[in-house]
Amino acid sequence: MAMSTAKPHILVYPYPTAGHVTPLLDLTRRLLARGLSVTVLITENNLSLLQPLLSSHQSLHPLIFPYPEASNANGSFNLHTSLHDLHYPLLLQWLRSQKPPPAVMIFDFFLGWTHQLASEVGLPHVVFSPSGAFGLSMFFTLWRDLPKVEDPNNGNSLVTFPNLPNCPVFPWYQLPPLYTRNKEGEAIWEFRKNVWLGNMASWGVVLNTSTELERVYIENMKKELGHDFIWAVGPVLPQDDDVAGRGGSSSMPCHDLMAFLDARGDGSVVYVCFGSRVVLTRKQIDPLAAALEKSGVHFVWCVKQPDEQNVAGDYGDIPDGFLDRVAGRSYIIKGWAPQVEILKHRAVGAFLTHCGWNSTLEGTVAGVVMLAWPMRAEQFMNARVLVEDLGLGIRVGEGTQNIPESNELARLLSESVNGARAERGRAKQVKEAVLKAVAEGGSSYRELDEFVKSIRSLNE
């Protein structure tokens, strides 16, 4: 059989945390639908996230690798180097055993060390960004230009980025800790730098965003990297019939939650969630709870509990008596929440979020007002896109450095669902533009087709 008539085979390698695995599997679903054969490198602990796809696609194959044991004891930042040390030789051996080899490897941007591995076997290498174009551009700029401040202990020292659109300025504390936490010359810092240099040297870049959301940053990235092999194919969120099982199983009976929402008026509920990893401190959770109480709004609140190893740390919990005082207008979730289903419900009108890119996209597609309280990583860049570029976000806080005052936050919560704020109309406009982009014939749909066409050309 001629190579050109065979299904192109690709290898997909997500970074093994839920917030990174889920969007790359969403992309995988779309690649399978376009006739590709896909092997997904998945760690044992994340195999359940792949199961819904495996049960419905014969062209999908799992490549199960162990999860590094050392990272469990030493923290998530060592997961980057542990994956390299454990997976590099295993993956190299697997690639050399494939006859013929995959046409291309698509990998998460935290796995940029795979660029060297792909070069060893002559495999084209595509970086997938689970962050937006602005967030990815910030990572590229940091590791290429290596900006410094006189006093890195002064988190308010300002850093200007003249090569990014509109020359944004950020205080040092808002830059990703992967860059700021260690010093140049330290082994972990040099490892991360090489990861990002590997990303920038990749054959291509796939972005989980659309030109309707981030056109100026996408065009700037093409200029900075010096090529057009950059495809904005997002948001790669699932269609309605593909939501079940995505990201994990719910921690509460979904029918109870939906019954609560069904009983509320259109756009009257605020959804509060800070992602799967952020545990609020006592100084953060107390004013948030007070604001929810004072605002009088109906709300769904997903409260992240600390992991066992962090139970002695500085974290907050719901204040005593709070549940009684908000009874009848609140629904509290402790654990994983079916966020896509919550946001798309007609009763939800606003989303208080940490501005992780997955949450940013899910809220944008739902057409809700975004109350932005970024916490870390590139979330400060995402908040800027929502508030300043798209005009559908309201800035309410920033990490632990700018914790909102409860009366002011209560006012913003109320206005987000009850007031005549311009962000409400703008959120609906952006939703329509993004849904049009991912529909057949839209910009993201066409970009994904072009990406698949490029892969097929490698297979000829």
Along the chain (460 residues), what's the average pLDDT of each consecutive run of 10 residues?
66 95 96 96 95 93 91 59 96 95 96 96 96 97 95 92 95 94 91 97 98 98 97 88 52 83 97 89 94 97 71 73 94 89 97 97 98 96 97 96 97 93 96 97 98 89
**In-domain check, residue 349:** yes
Q: Which of 243, 237, 313, 302 is nearest to 275 (CA)?
A: 302
**In-domain check, residue 130:** yes
Residues 263 and 137 in one domain: no
Residues 234 and 258 in one domain: no
Peptide bond preceding 100 in cis form (omega within 30 of 0) = yes
Residues 411 and 445 in one domain: no
Output Rg (C-alpha) for the chain, integer angstroms: 22
Dihedrals φ, ψ of 155, to 5°? -65, -15
Dihedrals φ, ψ of 101, to 5°? -75, 165
Residues 226 and 262 in one domain: no
Residues 170 and 273 in one domain: no
Residues 6+ apart with CB under 8 A from 309: none
Q: Containing domain of residue 372, as a range?
A: 250-435
Residues 77 and 183 in one domain: yes
Residues 444 and 390 in one domain: no
The CATH number for 389's domain is 3.40.50.2000
**In-domain check, residue 245:** no
- The CA distance from 331 to 326, in Å, is 9
**pLDDT attached to residue 304:** 83
Residues 187 and 258 in one domain: no
**pLDDT attached to residue 316:** 75
As a 3-state breakdown, the chain gives helix, strand, coil percent values, each rounded to 5, of 50, 15, 35
**In-domain check, residue 280:** yes
- The CA distance from 375 to 424, in Å, is 24
**In-domain check, residue 244:** no
Q: Which of 47, 32, 15 is nearest to 130 (CA)?
A: 15
- The CA distance from 207 to 30, in Å, is 14
**pLDDT attached to residue 385:** 97
Return the active site residues.
20, 108
CB 16 within 8 A of CB 67: yes
296 bridge partner residues:
none
402 bridge partner residues:
398
Residues 198 and 289 in one domain: no
Residues 204 and 260 in one domain: no
Residues 446 and 344 in one domain: no
**In-domain check, residue 413:** yes
**In-domain check, residue 292:** yes
**pLDDT attached to residue 153:** 87
Which two tokens mark 211?
């030109």
Alpha-helical segments (H) within 152-247: 177-180, 187-200, 211-225
Domain count, the chain: 2
**In-domain check, residue 146:** yes
**pLDDT attached to residue 311:** 47
CB 157 within 8 A of CB 180: no
Residues 306 and 233 in one domain: no
**pLDDT attached to residue 73:** 43
pTM above 0.95, yes or no: no
**pLDDT attached to residue 247:** 52
